[in-house]
Amino acid sequence: MNNRIMIFTLAALIWGASGPALASYAEHPEAIKVADELAEEGLDRERVMLLLGDAQKQEKILELIARPAEKTLTWADYRRLFVQPDRVEQGVAFWRQHKDTLDAVEASHGVPAEMILAILGVETRYGRHKGTYRVIDALTTLGFDYPPRSKFFRGQLKELFRLEQKAGIDISEVTGSYAGAMGYPQFIPTSYIHYAIDQDNDGRIDLLGNPVDAIGSIANYFKVHGWQTGQPLVARARVRGEAWRKLIQPLDKPRTTLGAARAAGAVSVPCAESNFCFTGLADDTPIALIELEGEHGSEFWLTTNNFYVITRYNHSYLYAMAAHHLAKELTQHRGEIR
């Protein structure tokens, strides 16, 4: 029996013993392609095939990805999920524990501690909830059984195998989200490989168990994606007339300017009326106008490039807005941190 047949047989036995009576992923044509491509790069083909054979299709993952919260909830509902007193309290405690690291990263990368904390708070409650799905299961399920984005997730699956070598982790055991994100900051494999950094200089990049590396890596992600130190993110806006309607844009970089938005009837509310306001921004500052469904109907917001950077972390206006609002809540406690 040659090695490939032996691996397929073993994988099928594993699948049959612990999963439904379906073919092993190790026998899937696209999985075989993945293994062949990785083998050409020098990865151990037998290990790749064994892990693919052991991977389990998760129907729950397919259900979840078909109805993500970002597409089914209003802004009012989404905010209630992520901007809560206990999440703020946990963030303040985490801030105290890692103050020196957060201070150093803020100074070196220009990303405020509150913003880094907000990402950790929204993603995993500061490491308390990192996900329960095996990442190998999530990425095989989505890579081979979710046609709308199978190519993307197969790419992530390949990066997961590469990550095992780079980060020195056992990917047969790593757990994370239903979409294959992992660790304190919930990086997908490509983000882990390209943006994670060894913040504590211990010779290992560890986002799974090291909050210090996670703090530095979030800041690095933002910096690489164009974060501008000191730039505000959003302002509540009032609209009048009809010209502003042409400024409402889908998720993308800001397409207009603050001055053009004002001329079209979209104006930032005064800071005396809202903590979400602009001060000192030039009229030529790139701006996007967005509309969200709040507690009392439509809310209008003017957003800057920094807000767009947050949407590179998670491609959702709701996510970016929740992270910013949580950061605002945390900012009120900056003076307490010693």
| Tokens describing residue 13 | 């036995």
Q: Considering the candidates 27, 59, 89, 123, report the single residue annotated as catalytic.
A: 123
Residue 16, CB-side half-sphere exposure with 13 Å CA sphere: 7
> By the 8 A CB rule, do 294 and 75 touch?
yes
Alpha helices by DSSP H, the chain: 3-18, 29-40, 45-54, 59-66, 69-72, 75-82, 85-97, 99-109, 113-124, 135-145, 150-167, 189-195, 211-224, 258-263, 305-313, 317-331
What count of residues does the chain have?
Answer: 338
Contacts 24+ apart (CB under 8 A), 74-80: 74/292, 74/293, 74/294, 75/292, 75/293, 75/294, 75/299, 75/317, 75/318, 75/321, 76/293, 76/294, 76/295, 78/318, 78/319, 78/321, 78/322, 79/321, 79/322, 79/325
Give catalytic status of residue 123 as yes or no.
yes
Three-state secondary-structure class, residue 228: coil
Q: Report the catalytic residues.
A: 123
